[in-house]
Amino acid sequence: MKLKHFLLIGILTLGSFVNAQEVKKNVIEVTGVAEMEVEPDEIIFSIGIKADNKNDLADNEKKLFDILKNAGVKNEDIKFKAMYQNIYSKTARFSKNYQFKAGTKSSLSKIFEDLNQKWVSSLNIAEVKNTKIADFRKAVKINALKAAKEKADYLLESMGKKTGNALEIVEIEDYTSDMIMPVAYKGRASNIQLEMADSPIDFSFDNIENIKLKYSIKTKYEIL
């Protein structure tokens, strides 16, 4: 009898649990959107230098470091990337590639002016960014979540209802432009030294487009 009694209690308890699971809460699903424009404060350049022998390449390498140092670029912000030797070329058999980082305190105009040299084979922008971009991303996402809650509040208020607990939060990355090409460089050849003599250009941070961040947050709230 005791065994049957316990089995009956177990069946009733399971039945109650199933019924509770079948009860669905009334919810509202909304999406909040937030945007922000961030001023870049750092540019990563890729530069190639060339020479017809190793000694000249070493001299050009020293010239490069001196030019960058005079323009405000620190030695630790210059990174060696690769070295090549072309045995089939009669001239410029040796080349090296570097990346260097220029901040807002660096003189971009001086960098371009002083690097207008025959031994510079290429000068490209690898990346434009903001050093505090992670903090700005967080701020945009938080604002998107706040926008979603605000939308749920005024929609439910119009129905005489209130917003309850958040039941679901889904992050949607709409658009982010970490790599922005400065206006002055758009549509220009990779070997900038060939075009610098044509007309003066404002190579400065003021002539760089802002980084654009946009995020959406999809949420579900309980309706009270």
DSSP labels, 165-224: EEEEEEEEEEEE-SSPPPGGGTT--S-GGGTTTTS----SGGGSPPEEEEEEEEEEEEE-
Phi then psi for residue 14, to 5 deg, are -60, -40
The residue-averaged pLDDT of 136-156 equals 95
Looking at the chain, the whole-number percentage of residues with pLDDT higher than 90 is: 47
Q: Can you give the pLDDT at residue 4? A: 47
What's the average model confidence in pLDDT over 68-96? Answer: 87
User: Using alpha carbons only, what angle is made at residue 200 by residues 199 and 201, rounded to the nearest 5 degrees?
Assistant: 115
Q: Residue 164: what are its φ and ψ, rounded to 5°?
A: -100, -150
Q: Report the CATH fold assignment for 42-129.
A: Alpha-Beta Plaits (3.30.70)
pLDDT at 64: 96
Q: Which of 147-156, 187-196, 203-212 has the highest mean pLDDT?
A: 147-156
The amino acid sitting at 112 is: F
Instruction: Mention the CATH class of domain 23-40+131-224.
Output: alpha beta
State pLDDT tens for residues 37-58. Answer: 998 899 899 999 999 899 999 9
49-63, 111-125, 195-209: which has the minimum mean pLDDT?
195-209
- Bridge partner list, 30: 219
pLDDT confidence of residue 162: 95
Domain boundaries, the chain: 23-40+131-224, 42-129
List strand residue ranges (DSSP E) for the chain, in order: 27-38, 42-51, 78-85, 94-103, 120-129, 163-176, 211-223
Residue 70 has pLDDT above 70, yes or no: yes
